């Protein structure tokens, strides 16, 4: 849904941006950014009760200590360091955005990915023409159509309408004729009519009263919006996010979208969804076999976990002895019990069925090193963000097939066929949190990790079931660079 231009009289931000010199814009943005940094604290990344916190009286900010003036070699060294750290951040943000094309793909595999992709693709000639005219990437405009309307040109909710779901004010700003009252009247008559010829005539009239129902015109207006937003914000991905939240919501032009999403909670995941749709359309066009495989894997569970670890190519532990051997050879690592250090407590029910197999509970207190890294990261990060003293509670880690058999008689959530726990890549964390703040910090961390395609998680009744990708540690490093 485009939430685009804030009209001020008959002037708007984009017009002003076009008129004014670009250096003026940059100065204004920098000043605004600096103001924001002081009043709200850019480094305060805490997701919990963001609004409630903003309503509280702001603690007085101590006067900043005068910066140490460096000269000569010291000045040059600190300059070089700043440059290097910015380059590392840019690189991390770019890589994570590419990972997000996969990590955010899950919602598109709703069982109709091929049908929807074909419907979106039929607009390709119009999309290319509109994108070329505005000098933007046609694949981005096409992905926008996928996310906004799934390629249905008639879809409307009474406010937004058409392939790219423009709002009336925005559509008018970019030169479309929009009469919402007429369009709604005609939409109602279209819904009542049974005569195909009559419907065609009514639709023809509607597209004249409200040009958002004329795909070529609406696509042109959306492309022009994206181009204008890119001029103001300086990055294509920020322009896509602006399509969703409006340009005034993204004043800090110095950071890239990836930095804002993975390093803070200042933007939502809209632009990442568009990137994911772009990947789906690319696969539909050029790698259809790969898309079919991915659709099949995604359909198996309530998360992308079997896409991360397909049954055919993933090693599983069959017997308790296999787990013991893996622990001895460091293929599985023991989970530390120092709760104060890790902020993760091990539940008394973890490995509780071991006695039926004649084994000790501690045998099942292990994970693959990658999964252990992610578990430790979650514990540490949730504690940092929420400040909660009470640790998260780990209720399940590695299992073997025998253990899984026993568990099926006890736990209805236990997977019948292929349990990710038997690979050592999955663990469960109880859904009992110290407070709401800890709960939302956990949600924040889970969302970032899933977007980076480092994990896939399922919300079960009692626990969050988390499957970890084999390359998760590399993603953790990138996220840490940004946060």
Binding site for Zn ion (CB under 5 A): 428, 465
**Rounded to the nearest whole angstrom, what is the least distance from the CB of residue 418 to Zn ion in the complex?**
12
Closest by CA position to 96, among listed 254, 275, 250: 275
**Rounded to the nearest whole angstrom, what is the least distance from the CB of residue 313 to Zn ion in the complex?**
21
Q: Alpha-carbon torsion 204, 209, 215, 217, what sign?
A: positive
Helix 288-298 and helix 270-286, axial crossing angle in degrees, nearest 10: 130
* Integer CA distances (angstroms), 325 to 46, 168, 334, 466, in order: 42, 65, 13, 24
**Rounded to the nearest whole angstrom, what is the least distance from the CB of residue 400 to Zn ion in the complex?**
14
The nearer residue to Zn ion, 4 or 397, going by C-beta atoms, is 397
**Rounded to the nearest whole angstrom, what is the least distance from the CB of residue 324 to Zn ion in the complex?**
21
- Rg (C-alpha) for the chain, rounded Å, is 26
The nearer residue to Zn ion, 142 or 428, going by C-beta atoms, is 428
End-to-end CA distance of the chain: 29
**Residue 140 parent element (H or E):** helix 138-149
Select the residue whose beta carbon is closest to Zn ion and give its number.
Answer: 465
Phi-psi region of 165 (alpha: psi -120 to 50; beta: other; left: phi over 0): left
The nearer residue to Zn ion, 386 or 396, going by C-beta atoms, is 396
Spatial distance between the Cα atoms of 260 and 101, rounded to a whole number of angstroms: 17
**Rounded to the nearest whole angstrom, what is the least distance from the CB of residue 60 to Zn ion in the complex?**
47
**Rounded to the nearest whole angstrom, what is the least distance from the CB of residue 57 to Zn ion in the complex?**
44
The nearer residue to Zn ion, 160 or 419, going by C-beta atoms, is 419
The nearer residue to Zn ion, 147 or 445, going by C-beta atoms, is 445
The nearer residue to Zn ion, 218 or 400, going by C-beta atoms, is 400
The nearer residue to Zn ion, 444 or 457, going by C-beta atoms, is 457
Spatial distance between the Cα atoms of 470 and 377, rounded to a whole number of angstroms: 15
Closest by CA position to 148, among listed 287, 262, 271: 271
**Rounded to the nearest whole angstrom, what is the least distance from the CB of residue 415 to Zn ion in the complex?**
8
- Six-digit token pair at 91? 């690189």
């Amino acid at each position: 849904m485009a939430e685009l231009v804030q009209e001020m009289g008959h002037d708007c931000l984009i017009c002003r941006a076009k008129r004014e010199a670009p250096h003026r814009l940059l100065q204004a943005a920098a000043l605004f950014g600096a103001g924001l940094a002081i009043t709200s604290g850019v480094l305060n990344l805490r997701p919990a009760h963001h609004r409630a916190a903003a309503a509280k009286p702001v603690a007085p900010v101590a006067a900043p200590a005068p910066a140490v003036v460096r000269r000569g070699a010291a000045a040059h060294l600190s300059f070089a360091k700043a440059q290097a750290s910015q380059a590392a951040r840019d690189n991390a943000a770019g890589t994570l955005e590419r990972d997000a094309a996969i990590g955010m793909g899950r919602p598109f595999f709703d069982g109709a990915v091929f049908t929807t992709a074909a419907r979106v693709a039929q607009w390709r000639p119009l999309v290319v023409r509109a994108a070329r005219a505005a000098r933007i990437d046609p694949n981005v405009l096409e992905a926008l159509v996928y996310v906004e309307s799934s390629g249905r040109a008639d879809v409307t909710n009474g406010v937004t309408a058409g392939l790219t779901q423009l709002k009336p004010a925005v559509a008018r700003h970019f030169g479309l004729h929009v009469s919402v009252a007429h369009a709604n009247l005609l939409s109602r008559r279209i819904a009542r009519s049974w005569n195909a010829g009559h419907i065609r005539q009514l639709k023809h009239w509607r597209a004249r009263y409200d040009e958002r129902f004329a795909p070529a015109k609406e696509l042109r207006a959306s492309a022009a919006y994206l181009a204008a937003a890119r001029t103001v914000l300086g990055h294509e991905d920020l322009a896509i996010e602006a399509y969703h939240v409006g340009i005034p919501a993204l004043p800090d032009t110095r950071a890239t979208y990836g930095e804002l999403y993975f390093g803070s909670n200042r933007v939502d995941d809209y632009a990442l969804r568009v990137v994911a749709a772009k990947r789906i359309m690319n696969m539909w066009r050029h790698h259809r076999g790969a898309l079919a495989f991915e659709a099949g894997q995604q359909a198996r569970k309530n998360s992308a976990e079997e896409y991360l670890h397909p049954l055919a190519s993933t090693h599983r532990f069959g017997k308790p002895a296999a787990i013991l051997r893996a622990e001895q050879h460091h293929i599985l690592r023991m989970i530390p019990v120092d709760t104060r250090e890790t902020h993760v407590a091990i539940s008394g029910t973890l490995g509780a069925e071991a006695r039926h197999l004649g084994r000790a509970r501690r045998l099942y207190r292990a994970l693959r090193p990658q999964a252990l890294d992610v578990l430790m990261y979650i514990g540490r990060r949730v504690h940092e963000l929420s400040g909660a003293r009470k640790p998260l509670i780990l209720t399940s880690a590695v299992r073997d097939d025998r253990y899984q058999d026993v568990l099926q008689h006890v736990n209805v959530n236990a997977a019948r066929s292929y349990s990710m726990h038997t690979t050592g890549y999955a663990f469960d964390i109880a859904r009992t949190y110290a407070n709401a703040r800890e709960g939302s910090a956990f949600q924040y961390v889970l969302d970032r990790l899933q977007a980076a395609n480092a994990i896939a998680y399922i919300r079960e009744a009692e626990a969050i079931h988390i499957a970890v990708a084999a390359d998760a540690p590399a993603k953790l490093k990138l996220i840490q660079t940004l946060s």
